[in-house]
Amino acid sequence: MSAVPVGGSLSKAFFALLRRDLLLAFRRRTELLFPVIFLLVVVSLFPLGIGPGPQLLARIAPGVIWIAALLATVISLDGLFRSDFEDGTMEQFVISGHPLTLISLAKIVAHWLVAGLPIVLLSPLLALWMNLPLESLKVMIMTLVLGTPILSLIGSIGVGLTISLKRGGQLLSLLVFPLYVPILIIATAAVMAASDSLPYMQFLGLLLAGLITSLTLAPFAAASALKISLS
């Protein structure tokens, strides 16, 4: 049996969904702000907890900022498909005949724009708090630009798998954190290398490779996971 799409072009559907998700995020501003505030609070607790020694802070800055970014992303991930899943919109998406891969991709892009992009934009402020030198900041921003979309992409697979569970959010963090480890290692290694005036392009290259791989594969995996969860 096949559902045959009529008339509607895929790009139109993609942008309609992207626009709707951004509008919904804007309507639910508190949900939007929570991960960002969480990020700011976690990073600002470190100087208070371990003392404001500038050398030490600069040394741990890449790890602290990246771990806070991971935590903030995981907090926002659960909302990626949940409301659509619970109110029946996902069923409508399946019936529409548009590929679920495209729908997942639109939702992942929207998620990155509201959850990942603010982290990138706030990173100069975080770097200032953590006394990160200016030349390392540049690399820090590049790792976040390349790395945070990977977090959204990989996370979407986990969300797809756990969406049918009532308290899937807790399982989700256990599921995705191990997958985030390589990104954390590569990204912090890049910033540390920059701090030590060592070459760092190889790390950025690895992150870029990771981004391309996950961008090509994750939407398919997320769509399959959603299909399993729907049945």
Partner 1 sequence: MLSVSDIVFERYFEPVFEPVSFELESSQLLLITGANGCGKTTLIRVLTGILHPTSGTIENRAGLMAYVGHYLGIKDDLSVLENLRFMRDFLGTSNRSCTELIEQVGLTRVAEQQARTLSAGQRKRCALARLLVSESKLWLLDEPYSNLDQEGVELVDEMLDNHLGAGGACVLATHGAHRPAWAGTIDYHLVSGATI
Given the rule CB under 8 A, which residues bind partner 1? 1-9, 12-13, 16-17, 20, 23-24, 27-28, 83, 86-89, 91-92, 94-98, 230-231
Q: Of the two residues 10 and 128, which places its CB atom closer to partner 1 in the complex?
A: 10
Phi-psi region of 158 (alpha: psi -120 to 50; beta: other; left: phi over 0): alpha
Residue 28 CB, nearest approach to partner 1 (Å): 6
Q: Of the two residues 91 and 135, which places its CB atom closer to partner 1 in the complex?
A: 91
- The sign of the torsion formed by the CA atoms of 119, 120, 122, 123 equals positive
Q: Of the two residues 29 and 167, which places its CB atom closer to partner 1 in the complex?
A: 29
CB 218 within 8 A of CB 156: yes
155 by DSSP, 3-state: which? helix
Residue 76 CB, nearest approach to partner 1 (Å): 16
Q: Of the two residues 13 and 130, which places its CB atom closer to partner 1 in the complex?
A: 13
Q: Of the two residues 6 and 48, which places its CB atom closer to partner 1 in the complex?
A: 6
CB 106 within 8 A of CB 14: yes
Residue 100 CB, nearest approach to partner 1 (Å): 11
**Residue 120 Cα distances to 10, 124, 143, 177, 201, angstroms:** 29, 8, 9, 20, 19
Residue 78 CB, nearest approach to partner 1 (Å): 17
Residue 226 CB, nearest approach to partner 1 (Å): 11
- Closest to 156 measured CA to CA, from 214, 98, 201: 214
